Amino acid sequence: MSNKLKVVVSRDLGPDVMPLLLDNKELDVVVWPHNSVCDRKWLLENAAGASGILVMLSEKLDAELFDAAGPSLRVVSTMSVGYEHADLKELAKRNIRFGYTPDVLTDAVADLSIMLALMAGRNTKETTEIVQSGQWPNFVWSPFAFCGPQLSTTSTSPKRTAGFIGFGRIAQATLARLVPFGFQHCLYAANPSTPADPAADAALAAKYGVRELRRVLLAELASESDVVFVLAPGGPATYHIVDEKFLRAMKRSAVLVNTARGTLVDSDALAKALHEGWLYGAGIDVVEGEPKIGADHPLVKAPRCVVLPHIGSATTDTRIGMATLAANNLLGGLFGKDMPAELNTSR
């Protein structure tokens, strides 16, 4: 019998990270050998006797998997910020430690949020299609063809207001990127169970150099914002928080950006809003029901709607950082040490 601790990894984490596990002489590492979503049957079979399991967002962490691993399982680590694929109650009941990868992707998602605001406002969907389809030679220039709202302030439009649904790390990093564009006004909506803190808002306004930073209700956020960034957590409390009522209240020149979770936005309502011009455009990195999003999806077909395949964290630096954190969480849990990012599952 080997005295090594068995760990199962559902995807090769690459040459920068795998040595953290493979070179550890106290571990017996079993890795899913394909560059694809880990097969559920393979995972269940190989989990038997494992002390640690490292997975992606695509792997379901439930009682079936924990039963397959058996009483030896000490820690589960996920290479993701979200943990909706994990049964936290089962983890707590079995006293299995759980690690995830927050913070690492903050800057990458904030960058993408700004990119989508620009892409949606400058109508890159239709204009790119003109080039890709070979129609540019037939295009007749006109003074206001394809014009959309400018993100930065101008002499004729000196005020820009950013609205945030959720105002955590990524939202604040996005605000910091908006300030050089001339944004001086920030409105945000937060969890109703969290008490308002005007003093903290004033401190954040000073930190980011904006004149106004204020917590408001959704109705005011919708009607006053030039760009709305959806950056709240998923779950029942925020399901379709951006619905037809919210979209009808938006400025006709406004842009909506969702880089959080697809379930926060009612796709059918947003498609209707874009077709009927309730707002100017939308930049979407996440869609309810993804990745089963075909060419006939309402948002893919909607005008002035840029849809990306959930690439918020897709920079090499960020993914290496996430993989490294996931591996270090696993190691900490295996050897009874601190995990760099451990979620308290007993809350």
Residues 118 and 93 in one domain: no
Band (346; pLDDT cuts 50, 70, 90):
confident
Strands of the sheet containing 161-165, edge to edge, are: 212-215, 185-189, 161-165, 227-230, 255-258, 281-284, 305-307
So what's the pLDDT on residue 1? 55
Do 153 and 123 fall within a single domain? yes
- The verdict on 168 and 290 lying in the same domain is yes
Give domain status of residue 339, yes or no: no
Residue 340 is assigned to a structural domain of this protein? no
Q: Is the pLDDT assigned to residue 93 strictly greater than 80? A: yes
Query: 234: domain range?
Result: 106-307
Residue 146 maps to which CATH number?
3.40.50.720
Is 346 inside any structural domain? no
Is the distance from CB of 164 to CB of 189 less than 8 angstroms?
A: yes
Shared-domain flag, residues 133 and 182 = yes
Indicate whether 140 and 75 sit together in one domain: no
d(Cα 231, Cα 260) in Å, to the nearest integer?
Answer: 5
Average pLDDT over residues 301-307: 97
Convert the pLDDT of each residue in 242-271 to its tens digit. 999 999 999 999 999 999 999 999 999 999
Q: How many domains does the chain have?
A: 2
Residues 193 and 85 in one domain: no
Predicted local distance difference test score (pLDDT) of residue 222: 98
Q: Which residue has the tokens 């394809």?
A: 146
32 in Cβ contact with 44 (< 8 Å): no
Query: Is the pLDDT at 25 greater than 60, yes or no?
Result: yes
**pLDDT > 80? residue 347:** no
The pLDDT value recorded for residue 253 is 97
Minimal CA–CA distance to 231: which of 293, 272, 186? 186
Residue 82 has pLDDT above 90, yes or no: no
Q: Does residue 177 belong to any structural domain of this protein? A: yes
User: Is there a single domain that holds both residue 122 and residue 240?
Assistant: yes
pLDDT, residue 210, reads 97
Residue 144 scores a pLDDT above 60: yes
pLDDT class of 76 with cuts at 50, 70, 90? very high
Is residue 344 assigned to a domain? Answer: no
**163 shares a domain with 234:** yes
The counts of H helices and E strands in the chain are 13, 12
- Do 155 and 193 sit in the same domain of this protein? yes
Does residue 159 fall inside a structural domain? yes
Same domain, 274 and 322: no
pTM score? 0.90
- For the chain, the average pLDDT equals 96
User: Could you tell me what percentage of the chain is helix, strand and coil, using 3-state DSSP and rounding each to the nearest 5?
Assistant: 35, 15, 45
pLDDT tens digits along 162-183? 999 999 999 999 999 999 999 9
Residue 144 belongs to some domain of the structure = yes
Residues 146 and 210 in one domain: yes
Going by pLDDT thresholds of 50, 70 and 90, the confidence category of residue 156 is confident
The pLDDT assigned to 193 comes to 86
User: Side-chain half-sphere of 156: how many Cα atoms within 13 Å?
Assistant: 2
For residue range 198-251, what is the model confidence (pLDDT) as tens digits? 999 999 999 999 999 999 999 999 999 999 999 999 889 999 999 999 999 999
Asked whether residue 16 carries a pLDDT value surpassing 90, the answer given is yes
CB 21 within 8 A of CB 327: yes
pLDDT digits (tens, 9 = 90+) for 117-135: 999 999 999 999 999 999 9
Of 204, 149, 156, 159, nearest in space to 185 by CA: 159
Q: Taking a C-beta distance cutoff of 8 angstroms, is the pair 231, 242 a contact?
A: no
pLDDT > 80? residue 44: yes
Whether residue 93 is found in the same domain as residue 73 = yes
User: Which residues are catalytically annotated?
Assistant: 310
What mean pLDDT is predicted for residues 330-339?
97
**Beta partners for residue 29, in sequence order:** 7
Residue 14 counted as domain residue: yes
Name the band, by pLDDT with cuts 50, 70 and 90, for residue 297: very high
Cα–Cα distances (Å) from 7 to 14, 50, 53, 80, 189, in that order, read: 16, 5, 6, 18, 42
Q: Which residues have a Cβ under 8 Å from the Cβ of 266 and sit 6 or more positions away?
A: 240, 242, 243, 244
Strand order across the 5-9 sheet? 27-31, 5-9, 52-55, 75-78, 97-99
